[in-house]
Amino acid sequence: MDGQRWLIKSVAQKLARISQPTPRNLARLARTLTRGGLVAVPTETVYGLAANALNARACAKIFRAKGRPAHDPLIVHVRTLTQAAEVAVLHPAAKKLAAVFWPGPLTLVLPKRDCVPGIVTAGLGSVAVRMPRHRLFRALLRLCDCPLAAPSANPFGYISPTTAAHVRAGLGSRLAHILDGGPCAIGVESTILDLRDPARPTLLRPGAISRAQLEKVLGRRICVPRRPAVPPAPSAGASKAELAPGMLVRHYSPRTPLVLTRKIAAGHPATAPDEAFLFFRRPPRKESAAVLRNIFWLTATGDPEEAARQLFAGLRALDRGQWRRIHAEQAPVRAALAPAINDRLDRAAAKG
């Protein structure tokens, strides 16, 4: 019995420590980062797994912890425009967008400076840069006085984390430190804009900042590339580097098979009691009262911001529910944040 207690205790000790955001803990975690360690951090979008962006060995730990392929680059987070200019070439278009949307959930892909290690950029001549808005992440950036690379703090390809508990459930045995900042305010990853060529801006990933908002500031149309419906067949040799994170056809995926539909048909849940049905908005009671056990929703009122905040937490909960399949309903096209929500659902449902 004593041996069993020791075993349980030793396993528990290997899980990451969740730290509350006290000044003492922030200083301790900043020292961990400056010394080349990893810390899972809250942002306004999702939790990130942070390391010193200028330390190649530290960034290599991110890839190992996540099981992330080397061809998928990282986002570099900065605290000031001066710091951004030290890692990327900030041309006038970038400065114009930064003046309006930074700090905030916008990532810009720009020509990189030589100080950024190749492991951060997948060997490309560009770097993805963001200035986060979350006060705790900004406090760490100030204490570290260096840019921090931070992809989502989850096993590669799985549903992104929006709480410290999500991080611990996925990576708790692969890192030592998690900073608890509560649930993420936005709940989906940042908008990514390719701005290497200011004359041809391209939206790589939708997020809380919309294409229309970006076009209004830039005064020009933004390209949206078509995405293949299925992953390309693997080719011999090295994988091609992605321009930015979140570009893979299959991503943000639960282990339970997920089927995406524009609208879940009334009565369908009753015919498949071993399958879960995730509505965008709570269905009318008369349609759901008899089968509430397998009916779930992202928002009771139709609020798209609430739906985005609940998206990843909802998918995680359903993935733990031992359902045979999850049916998810798309966000209405005209809803704010619909492109971001539907992009994540599209990728979660893609065949891989």
Over range 237-250, report the average pLDDT: 81
pLDDT value, residue 346: 96
Q: Work out whether strand 326-329 and strand 276-281 pair parallel, antiparallel, or are unpaired.
A: parallel
Percentage, residues of the chain above pLDDT 90:
84
Q: How many other β-carbons are positioned within 10 Å of the β-carbon of residue 197?
A: 11
4: helix, coil or strand? helix
pLDDT value, residue 352: 62
Local confidence band at 280 (pLDDT 50, 70, 90 cut-offs)? very high
Over range 8-14, report the average pLDDT: 49
Using the structure block, give the residue that is written with the tokens 């730990």. 61
The model's pTM: 0.92
Instruction: Quote the DSSP letter at residue 265.
Output: P
pLDDT value, residue 10: 41
User: pLDDT tens for residues 70-83?
Assistant: 999 999 999 999 99
Element (H, E) at 60: helix 56-66
Over range 8-25, report the average pLDDT: 78
User: pLDDT tens for residues 143-179?
Assistant: 999 999 999 999 999 999 999 999 999 999 999 999 9
Exposure class string for 271-302: b at 16+ Cβ within 10 A, else e? eeeebbbbbbbebeeeebeebeebbbbbbeee
How wide is the angle at C-alpha 89 spanned by C-alphas 87 and 92, nearest 5°? 135
User: pLDDT tens for residues 96-110?
Assistant: 999 999 999 999 999
Give the C-alpha separation, 153 to 151, whole Å: 6
pLDDT value, residue 205: 97
Mean residue pLDDT of the chain comes to: 92
Calculate the CA dihedral of residues 68, 73, 60, 47 and round it to 10 degrees: -70
Over range 58-74, report the average pLDDT: 97
6 pLDDT higher than 80 = no
118: helix, coil or strand? helix
Beta bridge partners of 40: 49, 178
Whether the Cβ atoms of residue 18 and residue 178 lie closer than 8 Å to each other: yes
pLDDT value, residue 224: 94
User: pLDDT tens for residues 299-333?
Assistant: 999 999 999 999 999 999 999 999 999 999 999 98
pLDDT value, residue 8: 41
User: pLDDT tens for residues 172-231?
Assistant: 999 999 999 999 999 999 999 999 999 999 999 999 999 999 999 999 999 998 866 555
Between the CA of residue 203 and those of 50, 56, 310, what are the distances in Å? 25, 28, 24
- List the domains of the chain with CATH numbers: 15-218 (3.90.870.10), 258-349 (3.40.50)
